[in-house]
Amino acid sequence: MSESDVRSWSENEIGALSAKVVALKASMAKVIIGQENVIDSLIICLLAGGHALVEGVPGLGKTLLVKSLAQATDMQFRRVQFTPDLMPSDIVGTEILEEDHATRKREFRFQQGPVFTQVLLADEINRAPPKTQSALLEAMQERSVTFAGQTHMLPRPFFVLATQNPIEQAGTYPLPEAQLDRFLLRIDVVYPTEEEEIAMISATTHAGLADAEPVMDVATLLRLQLLVRDIEIGDHLLKYATRLVRATRPAITEVASVKKHVGWGAGPRAGQALVLASKARALMHNRLAVTRDDIAAMLLPVLAHRVLRNFEAEADGVAIADILTALREHVRPD
């Protein structure tokens, strides 16, 4: 973006919006014990207007994370447990036949599904069949649902967080790479430290955790999402982000680890996601311009689900984080 874009915003409004981001993180931190990096990533994804794929074993508070985010932003929240018998109509909605008791006239009316909300938790998305996954992912991309030739717009903002359980893969339907690309970030929820786990157990076995305090309304969030788009990024950093994405492609890369261990690299949408997430991170750190650190910090969550390891990498036990770390060390900005 040009310098005039971000300067078209008044200093007072930028300051007020930045304060709301700080308050949002503080509100969630009162409910979520630890997991600071996860909270940061969720907020970045929300500010960028994308969707998140959240991975972690059961019991780490993924549902509480999403619910707290919805409460702190005063948005409508719904949760859908994905199961093998879940149908597309269970997600997007269906038509029902209604009769007017006065005229006896019958007509079909569209009954909205749970996707018509502002924050949707798609719990264990890989347990639903591909047809149901595709229905949700199409709604995520188009921000609308088309049924019987009629298009129904989804609320704004519309934020999907889909969870995957990294264990118990029997009977699941892994998301294809093309559909994984619909998610802006992949966020890994890890085990808490010993101190955090003690505090968590203590809090949940006494009076329990309180709800997150609403500190931001929808109108403010939409303004923040507009401001993110106007955050500055220099041409050299734009080129750097593009080169990082292109270096994930085995056919053209000069990174040895990528040539050896990657089967399929990231597409152009990954570059868009990397720049947008870096802008959101800059704003969250109260900066109006992207730095190299922003791009480096967002590299793993943006590319981890977009770069496909080959069989040799899996056999050698080479993780995607190892590959992307080698890539980041090899590719340098001008």
Residue 13, domain CATH: 3.40.50.300
The span from the CA of 314 to the CA of 8, in Å, is 49
Give the C-alpha separation, 148 to 126, whole Å: 27
**Are 239 and 225 members of one domain?**
no
Mean pLDDT score across all residues of the chain? 88
Alpha helices by DSSP H, listed for the chain, are: 3-7, 11-29, 36-48, 62-72, 88-92, 130-142, 177-180, 194-204, 218-230, 235-246, 256-261, 268-284, 292-303, 311-316, 320-330
82, β-bridge pairs: none
Same domain, 131 and 13: yes
Structure confidence at residue 180 (pLDDT): 87
Task: List the chain pLDDT tens, one digit each, 334 residues.
Answer: 344 477 778 888 999 999 999 999 999 988 888 888 999 999 999 999 999 999 887 777 788 888 899 999 999 999 999 989 999 999 988 888 887 777 778 887 888 889 999 999 999 898 888 898 888 888 888 898 888 778 889 999 999 999 887 766 666 788 887 788 899 999 988 888 888 888 888 877 776 667 788 999 999 999 999 999 999 999 999 999 999 999 999 999 999 999 999 999 999 999 999 999 999 999 999 999 999 999 999 999 999 999 999 999 989 899 999 999 999 999 988 7
Considering 206, 230, 254, which residue would you say is the last residue of a domain?
230
Within-domain flag for 111 = no
Q: Does one domain contain both 325 and 273?
A: yes
Q: What is the span of the domain harbouring residue 334?
A: 232-334
Q: What is the predicted pLDDT for the residue at 262?
A: 94
